[in-house]
Amino acid sequence: MDFQKEKFLKVKEVAKILNLAPRTIYTYIEMGKLKALKGKSFCDNSKSFIRIKLSDLKDFIKNNNKS
């Protein structure tokens, strides 16, 4: 995978796109419904972050938008 070509979004950005609360996005991640990358900050190892690949968000929308 070429991480330089992949677009990553913050939880707040995904929440805004989906018009949901950030807590709902965290719940989807915890339930395994939405894939996310979790990591630690390089500068401060006590801080962690979560990022969602744009392609994973598109898959999530497609799979959960079935009528």
Q: How confident is the model at residue 3 (pLDDT cuts 50, 70, 90)?
A: low
**For residue 65, pLDDT beyond 90:** no
Q: Considering the entire predicted model, what is its pTM?
A: 0.82
Average pLDDT score over residue span 25-30: 97
Residues contacting 22, CB < 8 A, separation 6+: 11, 12, 15
Nearest to 7 by CA among 58, 41, 65, 60: 58
